[in-house]
Chain A
Amino acid sequence: MPFDFYVNLVSTGVLNGLVYGLMALGLSVIFGVIRVVNFAHGEMAVVAMYAAFVLFRGFGIDPLVSMVPIAAGLFALGYLLQAGLINPFVGRAEHEQFILLVGVAIILVNGLLMLYGPDARHADVSYGYDSFEVGPLLLDKVRVYAALAAFAVAVLLFLFFRFTRTGTAIRACADNLVGAAVIGLDVKHLYALTFGIGAACVGAAGALMILLTDATPMLAPSYTLLAFTIVIIGGLGSQSGALAGGVLIGVSESLASFFIAPSMKAMFSFGLLILVLLFRPQGLFGRRT
């Protein structure tokens, strides 16, 4: 088998994985701070995909551009969701949080079904079928652009949490909730902000995803599952872990479909998940609690 086949497979896996990683990053941020698992995560990604589709089809706005307003819109949605709906559930039993967010997920999926029907929707950008040829490497333009954009958003997020006062305050809430409250931080506001930031991540990722695959409402549960798998492999609450987990899943699925069987690639991801849960339950980049 020519060597360039393997290189192409790995590079495609890395590019896909970065976008998956950005989506999972949102989940990780939300859980890392609020300790609420967002079971409507994939659904929010699909809402963003439809928003990108509408902006592209209606106004000709490229998803690489529309990801900014979509992320802002999802930020607002996330903020309101946390402030109005989820905050009262923080600290309550996990099954109650689960049911609440599953309810939100069902409403989102069925809302999309009612609005757009079940057909697949795609943003057919002008460069959608073009590739970069770098020696033996053949890189799809859409994947390259989407991956670069995802990486840029992830870096911005790291910088935000590291160097801004709000980011530091949010990290304080994650590290020591009581301490944060004692020094006068508005925890509820910061929680809503965090959920908004997580939703913005998934909004940006969703807008980029429309470049890689078609949007259908029924895609949502598989995205939620994918985000969970990535975050558990990378380490719940770890931002770098989410990105690395995304790349790991992207590459392993790509290689597994080539060397084992395409229909078994999902099984390979879940196999990886089980191995991580058995031998490193905190995830590859997570901290042991």
Chain B
Amino acid sequence: MIQHRIPRSRTGPSRRAFLATAGAGALLAGAPAIARAQAPTLKIGVLLPRSGFFAQAGQGCHRGALIAPAVLNEMGYRFELVHVDTESSVDIARTQAERLINEGANVLVGAFDSAQSIAIAQVTEQRGVPYVVNVAAAPQLTEQGYRFIFRNFPRSIDLVTNGLALIKTLLTATNASPQRAVFIHANDTFGQANRGAMDRLFPGANMPFQLVENIAYDPRAQDLNAEVARIRAARADLVLVTTRAGDAIKMIREMVRQRYEPMGIVSPGSPGMYDQEFYDSLGRFSEFCISNVPWYNPRARMAQPFERAFRAQFPNDKFEFHAFNAGFTLEAILIAADAFKRAGSAAPQAMVQALRATDMADHIMVGGPIKFDEKGQNNNIGSACVQNRNLNPTVVLPSEAATMPPVFPMPGWQQRG
């Protein structure tokens, strides 16, 4: 019987060829990481919700990223920005973060919204790429032991702590004494985090009023008619809010229509009431609302080139309306660029070490030097009491930074010019 043996093919892969191919494959697979490490300039992926639900704020942040080269190149920082729209979607934020890293981004910056930032942080942690958060307050971002995240924004608990302290200062400064307050908040990640902070802090805060009800609402609701009816039913004379611009507009509109006249509407640390959209939509009814939030420091040395570059690049936009979002985004890019400059390399570990060693006294937003603790959190960011006056966000407290005295209680809806 003839046995047909299959001869070893002369054209099949030899051990040497196999090793060569495998080696080349490994090189190719590792190429993005090597490219990242040896990058001559820093490639920063900027993830922002430029369309979708958070688009209004995302566009404000985007403006900060767009002026970053003009402001920072003059200061000797070299970097390349890749702008990506997350479409306000957590899933898109996650996949775009993956894509940016695959395409060689050395560091990611973003993403205005807590939920999207959490998704990005999961990716950067898995891939070992540094991530600088511009705006996002959910505490879990820096509380779950991530090694690659750096947040230059207060946590919810810091926002509410500062916010409540400023309310006390406000009531003392104006000799006002509201008796009953409600806390109304969006039920998204940010709103729930602020609610958690309020639950923890309010009982021990010794505030001179009673918190009679917490009301959660869907920020995408068509109107807030029933929510305002609940506030009225609670006979509250002070309304504490955690909103975005769209829902803040709906809330004020309903208050006016339902002839509900609170002593004041105060945000202990949320956006919405200082956004351009808020002023444009409500006009005189936007006046006297108060936001106790981190704010840009007009006296800071860096504030001048920031403002100049913004006005030059966006002559049709009012700087004050975008200062918050643009300022924090520009600062996040500055932090990454500064770390790269000191590290002399874009390699992840070198960048992380440099970011950890950040100590930047000269920056844009109110607060002490930018420094990160072992969790990657900057704890030196302060808040200001910003009241809407003459259709402008105006610092009214603390007195050393104020440009106008606060007005509280606010005038009735129909008593405004």
Interface segment among B22-30, B212-220, B378-386: the answer is B212-220
Whether the pair B283, A8 counts as a contact (CB closer than 8 A) is no
Do A263 and B230 form a contact, CB below 8 Å, given A12-B225, A118-B59, A131-B257? Answer: no
Chain B residues with Cβ under 8 A from A253's Cβ? 226
In this complex, the interface size class of chain A, counting residues with CB under 8 Å from chain B, is 35 or more
Chain A residues with Cβ under 8 A from B215's Cβ? 261-262
CA distance A45 to B230 in the complex (A): 30
B55 within 8 A of A: yes
Whether the pair A118, B52 counts as a contact (CB closer than 8 A) is yes
CA distance A67 to B264 in the complex (A): 37
The 0/1 profile, CB within 8 Å of B marked 1, for residues 1-14 of chain A is 10001001100100
CA distance A257 to B229 in the complex (A): 10
Chain B residues with Cβ under 8 A from A128's Cβ? 253
CA distance A63 to B256 in the complex (A): 21
Whether the pair A117, B53 counts as a contact (CB closer than 8 A) is no
Chain A residues with Cβ under 8 A from B230's Cβ? 257-258, 262
Shortest A112–chain B CB gap in Å is 11
Do A140 and B257 form a contact, CB below 8 Å, given A129-B413, A262-B218? Answer: yes
Partner of B226, one of A9, A117, A119, A212: A9
B281 within 8 A of A: yes
CA distance A140 to B217 in the complex (A): 21
Partner of B56, one of A113, A119, A261, A265: A119
Shortest A209–chain B CB gap in Å is 9
Per the 8 Å Cβ criterion, residues 245-289 of A in contact with B are: 253-255, 257-258, 261-263, 265-266
Whether the pair B283, A124 counts as a contact (CB closer than 8 A) is yes
Whether the pair A262, B224 counts as a contact (CB closer than 8 A) is yes
B223 within 8 A of A: yes
Shortest B228–chain A CB gap in Å is 10
Per the 8 Å Cβ criterion, residues 1-35 of A in contact with B are: 1, 5, 8-9, 12, 16
Partner of A216, one of B217, B233, B246, B258: B246
B51 within 8 A of A: yes
Whether the pair B227, A129 counts as a contact (CB closer than 8 A) is no
The 0/1 profile, CB within 8 Å of A marked 1, for residues 225-250 of chain B is 11101101100000000000110011
Number of A-B contacts (CB under 8 A): 101
CA distance A263 to B53 in the complex (A): 17
Chain A residues with Cβ under 8 A from B220's Cβ? 222
Chain A residues with Cβ under 8 A from B58's Cβ? 118
Shortest A236–chain B CB gap in Å is 23
B288 within 8 A of A: no
Scoring A120, A131, A138, A212 by chain B CB atoms within 10 A of each residue's CB, the highest score goes to A120
The 0/1 profile, CB within 8 Å of B marked 1, for residues 187-227 of chain A is 00000000000000000000000001110101000100000
Partner of B233, one of A5, A212, A255: A5
Partner of A138, one of B52, B221, B259: B259
Partner of A120, one of B51, B52, B224, B281: B281
Chain B residues with Cβ under 8 A from A119's Cβ? 55-56, 276-277, 280
B415 within 8 A of A: no
Give A1's nearest chain B residue, CB to CB: B233
B96 within 8 A of A: no
B285 within 8 A of A: yes
Give B228's nearest chain A residue, CB to CB: A262
Whether the pair A262, B227 counts as a contact (CB closer than 8 A) is yes
Shortest A219–chain B CB gap in Å is 8
Shortest B290–chain A CB gap in Å is 21
A41 within 8 A of B: no
CA distance A58 to B301 in the complex (A): 42
CA distance A5 to B249 in the complex (A): 22
Scoring B52, B56, B226, B259 by chain A CB atoms within 10 A of each residue's CB, the highest score goes to B226
CA distance A257 to B230 in the complex (A): 9
Chain A residues with Cβ under 8 A from B218's Cβ? 262-263, 265-266
Whether the pair A122, B226 counts as a contact (CB closer than 8 A) is no
Partner of A258, one of B187, B226, B253: B226
Shortest A265–chain B CB gap in Å is 7
Shortest A25–chain B CB gap in Å is 18
Give A129's nearest chain B residue, CB to CB: B256
Chain B residues with Cβ under 8 A from A9's Cβ? 225-226, 229
CA distance A185 to B218 in the complex (A): 48
Whether the pair B226, A262 counts as a contact (CB closer than 8 A) is yes
B14 within 8 A of A: no
Do A131 and B222 form a contact, CB below 8 Å, given A118-B51, A258-B229? Answer: no
Chain B residues with Cβ under 8 A from A118's Cβ? 50-52, 55-56, 58-59
Chain B residues with Cβ under 8 A from A12's Cβ? 225-226
Chain B residues with Cβ under 8 A from A262's Cβ? 215-218, 221, 224, 226-227, 230
Whether the pair A120, B249 counts as a contact (CB closer than 8 A) is yes
Chain B residues with Cβ under 8 A from A266's Cβ? 218, 221
Whether the pair A265, B226 counts as a contact (CB closer than 8 A) is yes
Shortest A121–chain B CB gap in Å is 8
Chain A residues with Cβ under 8 A from B281's Cβ? 120, 122, 124, 214
CA distance A12 to B281 in the complex (A): 22
Whether the pair A8, B229 counts as a contact (CB closer than 8 A) is yes
Shortest B117–chain A CB gap in Å is 19
Chain A residues with Cβ under 8 A from B245's Cβ? 120
Known A12-B226, A213-B223, A263-B217; further 12 A-B contacts with Cβ < 8 A: A5-B229, A9-B229, A119-B280, A120-B56, A122-B249, A131-B259, A138-B257, A212-B222, A214-B250, A218-B52, A257-B227, A262-B226
9 pairs across A/B with beta carbons < 8 Å? A1-B233, A9-B226, A118-B59, A129-B285, A131-B257, A140-B257, A213-B223, A216-B246, A262-B221
- Which 9 residue pairs spanning A and B have beta carbons closest together? A118-B55, A257-B226, A262-B217, A263-B187, A263-B216, A129-B256, A262-B227, A140-B257, A258-B226
What residues of chain A have their CB less than 8 Å away from a CB belonging to chain B? 1, 5, 8-9, 12, 16, 113, 117-120, 122, 124, 128-131, 138, 140, 212-214, 216, 218, 222, 253-255, 257-258, 261-263, 265-266
